[in-house]
């Protein structure tokens, strides 16, 4: 049996990561739609940063308060 070329595994992982990225985008957009967060809003930008970059165990409301943007969260 022939050993797979390293590029075969690299392409396989690359394809998986690209598909995962598409799924993440679908879930994030659905979340924004469910929360009635408008495209291009600062709230959507902050939600994106919170979902993809925040590692502390805090709520989104707490995250906005730290950024002094808690008023964006009110009314949702």
pLDDT digits (tens, 9 = 90+) for 12-34: 999 999 999 999 999 999 999 99
Provide the residue ranges of all domains of the chain, joining segments of one domain with +: 7-72
List of residues 6+ apart from 70 with CB closer than 8 A: 61, 64
How many other C-beta atoms lie within 10 A of the C-beta of residue 25?
Answer: 10
- Its pTM stands at 0.80
| Cα 46 from Cα 67, distance rounded (Å) | 9
Average of per-residue pLDDT values in the chain? 92
Pick left, alpha or beta for residue 68 (phi over 0 → left; psi -120 to 50 → alpha; otherwise beta).
left
In this structure, are residues 52 and 25 in contact, taking their beta carbons and an 8 Å threshold? Answer: no
**Rounded average pLDDT over 27-48:** 95
Q: Does 36 have pLDDT greater than 90?
A: yes
Residue 4's pLDDT band (cuts 50, 70, 90)? confident
């Amino acid at each position: 049996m022939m050993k797979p070329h390293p590029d075969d595994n690299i392409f396989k992982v690359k394809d998986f990561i690209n598909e995962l990225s598409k799924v993440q985008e679908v879930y994030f957009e659905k979340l924004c739609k469910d929360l009635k967060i408008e495209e291009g809003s600062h709230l959507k930008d902050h939600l994106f940063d919170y979902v993809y970059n925040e590692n502390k165990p805090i709520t989104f409301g707490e995250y906005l308060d730290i950024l002094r943007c808690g008023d964006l969260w009110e009314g949702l």
